[in-house]
Structure 1
């Protein structure tokens, strides 16, 4: 764990940062003249005030929470980070003119202690070890298949038992319309199932949870239209839900209008005796919203609203009237686990899609069959 911590020290470190003003002069003389005309006895607010009073021909740029790596030029880094807060730096010649930096504040470098991330590192190392084990098992499994073993035989080699799904459509439902669940809900799995010919094996692909799967299509039932008796109960239930939702939506629209005329959701809720909840902060992907509130829909509606505006969100079984109270700026952390996880997922997805496309193209171009009897004779000659 200590070795892992040391190798990822950059990830555990938040660099020192500064908030400053960057003043760009057209000539060295004008830059130095300004520096000399600004007494060192002035306070930081007084210097900042003088900077705002500089005339035409000078550009002032506010730079907030910058780190050294944000600046490309070595001299600029030195001027911006070695100059004491509240003082003007020396004039630095750049391709954009002569720059003078005025640091307003600074934040020291912060390194997360090992003890604070020990469990996280332990979990990640365990996860990586598990991935290595899975990779080794998949190699054994694929070698068995290449030697002519069936899925059942290859699975026994790694102490796995194949699972049979009796019926599955492109939406992950059974013939009766019930959700199969589990891996059958994954788009990649369904895509693999319906792109694999009957009696053939699919490509060994990675699942969303980091595992691997392979499918063999035993049979295929052709598409047919269900008769009325098969869908009667579902049609009735769907109609009842639609009618109920229509009434709820009408009620929600009336309440939203009332909220606008009364000056906000709080006042309308108190006057009507309607329950209200404060939610958030949450992301545009619904992170931070309870699952029962249909996070994707609610977040989608909220992110279309301006501050203090009111909207309506469909929560599947209910309807919410939403008022946007506050908008917080996004925090982009490229070293965060969420960012790294998304990056890994995108790379993995692209790799798997590419392999699947190649596999499908090869199947169309080359007709391949396995002579099991011949293989067994080679392996176990009489």
Structure 2
């Protein structure tokens, strides 16, 4: 962790800090929990027996997606998952849930007044005068698809978690010396005189003789060596294939449908208008005006100053509202209004303008999904039974062929494949278990050996026997002539460029001005602008591969480095490595960032310890269902 790495020297601290700055936005707390392959697909994790639902994951994942899109452009859910966003989102939810549990166990409570204060502090809810504006609060929530009930609950939970987080991280601060070291490292600038020696085109290279090619091939034999290939006999119990062979009974389909119906049902929705008043007496007067027959819009305008559009809450379900508001609003008929009802935000009068009855999907509408899910469950059970029979057979000395008969699954015989899953022609091998442990297992065995039965991540099993090993072999020139010719020419041209660069470097180190050393080869010096070690400020004069050497040298030193198209020789002209100005905003932000990184490190260790106190399990099936679009009521 960062606190430990700070003890290992400034150089390592700098690298660690830079790495932390890159990953801090992902809030990754670590994955060390039990991962379950199956379970209720409507939840993605469980913390101390309490579910983190697919809906919670979806809402947070979408918010993180929007944040990332604002930085790097449009990406889809799978691309975001590949970037690690799903893991970081889930771990963030788990960590916050852990902090909430700890806060509750410690008796840390958040009052309604504290919730109101937190809401009124939010800049998004303030008007041009800097005052809290209820209409802006309502509009902002509506525009972001967040219900008032959910927002109030999240503020209460966040405040509770922030309390305990603040206690844990109190006192965490980056030392000024550390911040200055990082600042200097990041902001150091260097300029140089540069000569670029470009490798000539392949057309200008001499043609090699067979003796040249054979000598090159002998020296670089590993570069052209044929890899080791192996042929296998594979017993693969694939849950996807087994599921296709199984069909649940009509009785079980009906029973599953009935069990899931509450989760599949579409709840009743109502379109509401709202008058929200802080003072109870004013709310009662507004209610009296409504009972006298005045229009809802007119009373709202008189009491709150809000227009007819500003009082619209839109279409909501009962779960979108605070409990008392939901009870009142969903007891009304169309065009009726509630009595003033209290919440942490004030006094509400709600009016119903439209009612959409709830409905339950028919079995026909969800049959395909239910059948697929049941088939997968049956396949898992079936495979466990088959795996037990195979294990029993192996314990009695059975061969892989005998085991396949017990499993009722045919053995697959492969063509020779290499460790990269390619056949000898270079194409990809097909029909292999996709689990990464297959290749690891298959290439760890001796010829004729058979592996144990290995369970795969998707709940399947495989065992493999090595039937043949074709050792890695040296290829002859006639097998790889074109590749060797191309490599020889590239090497030859590179050697010529390198020799020129070395002569220029040696002359410059011996006291010859760099410009004069370059003129011998008709090469001119280019003078760069100051550039950072990360390439900031570059004018394309200093090749990026040259930067590390440039920042290791001293003023006046001569350095040489291979580049993408040849070599470069440079003399360091100037080094700018000034301390931060007293009023430098970037330096202050850096101090804050480093302090935040240290605080996150402390909090990360604390939440990691909480995982030992409160059991955490991750439901892989729920995550997969979300990304495959199979989750109920969550997309």
TM-score, normalised relative to structure 2 = 0.31
Higher helix proportion: 2
Relative contact order, CA 8 A, sep 6+: which one is greater? 2
**Greater C-alpha radius of gyration:** 2
